Amino acid sequence: MPDSSAPDTLAPAGLVGFVGFGAMASRMGRALRDAGYQIVAYTPSGKGGDGTTRFLPRPRLLAEAAGGTVILCVPDDEALAEAAYGPDGVLAGMAAGGLLINTSSVSPEAALALAAAAERRGIAALDAPVSGSTPEADAGALVVLVGGDARDVARARPIFDIIGKATIHAGPAGSGATLKLVVNGIMGVGLAAVAEGVGYGLAAGLDRDMLFAALDSVAVISPHHKRKLKAARAGDFSPQFPTRLMQKDMRLLLDAAARVGAPVPTMAATTQMLSLTRRQYPDDDYSALFAVMERMVANTP
């Protein structure tokens, strides 16, 4: 079990280590730094940040320097395993009583394995992926979806309250990762439905500007998808949530659903559309699916 002598809450400000410091993590780090925290980081490339963050060459060294609190923010299960385990992994550098916050979007199985490995070392681990893209991270308005022990969630609450507007304790270890897949699956299906609607409207001869403006006016489309509509109307697919990551989350969802026997045919079809989009626009925002649909209908007789 994690060290029972660990404090119930973090100090108002302290030192936090980040393993992974890309688009989302660097924004979370900036928010924490603005709140008085000191930030150290590790990335495989040794690059990132804005020149104010100290980078260390290996996850273990990062964990040793972080003083007990480490945030993982890596792209997938494979990157998580590489960063967390082994003699140079973050777990090897953390002392008993430390707090490991995994904000990565990974499979529930990977989240559970990390929690079990951390527990064997007396480290508290939370799977805490976030809902929101770079605009929400900039605004400190992410929603944190947490799996783990309630006491450990309370310890991490000062950090969550800085990076997010809400924290949802989904249940025991693995629950945050599961809830993240539910949220992203719904998000992906919603965008695919809007993109298909646009495709049909254009193929049927509706004026493009009128169509996009009309869809921006109706209540049935979420604010998130309206933001994607505006970007697609302008042909701006600057990555807020890259297609390769969205398609990865949909793939994880299909695998997780199959494990529990949950039928998800609509999400399966959406995954195929995002796989096609990933082939053409891997590093662009996943709303590039609109471009794929527009190109398809442009070739319709």
- Tell me the catalytic residues: 180
CA 109 to centroid of chain Cα atoms: 16
DSSP calls for the chain: ---TTS-SS--SS-EEEEE--SHHHHHHHHHHHHTT-EEEEE-TTS--SSSSSEE-SSHHHHHHHHTTEEEE--SSHHHHHHHHSSTTSHHHHPPTT-EEEE-S---HHHHHHHHHHHHHTT-EEEE--EE--HHHHHHT-EEEEEES-HHHHHHHHHHHHHHEEEEEEEESTTHHHHHHHHHHHHHHHHHHHHHHHHHHHHHTT--HHHHHHHHHH-TTS-HHHHHHHHHHHHT----SSBHHHHHHHHHHHHHHHHHHT---HHHHHHHHHHHHHHHH-TTSBGGGHHHHHHHHHHT--
Angle between helices 243-260 and 265-280 (to 10 degrees): 150
